[in-house]
Structure 1
């Protein structure tokens, strides 16, 4: 199966919702656009900065794929090796 790999993400606000991107550059650009869309409405509260994170995955195994396909929510979490902040958009 595949070796470990990484994707990039940022929070969509103060909750748990995240946006995911394939590349670091795409994550920074998407976070900038998201912040601009929030600023368009002065009633919205905007965090002072939006963290950009690298999500590193373990190598994919058949057991994990089967767990995910059988709708075992913890199967996806088993793939995550680390989530680390790599920068911010202000």
Structure 2
């Protein structure tokens, strides 16, 4: 069973989180509609804004006006997959 010290990626690999949920978070992040604590899976939350800000690579790619859409998508997705989750109470 997943615990709260896991990353989104680990939950994804354990099939506790599905691809559509991760994609929705990425789309929200790229649209600037980031909730402080977004729900993911049945019982977890992730701070998407903190995840993106914590990644120097994602921050750099997202701020670069010459970055292509695919590069921005991949940078945000990677940052979110590496983010730690918190169990909902």
TM-score, normalized by length of structure 1?
A: 0.36
Normalized per residue, which structure has more helix?
Answer: 2
Q: Which has the higher contact order (CA 8 A, sep 6+)?
A: 2
Structure having the higher strand fraction is 1
Answer with 1 or 2: which has the greater Rg: 1
Alignment TM-score, normalising by the size of structure 2? 0.36
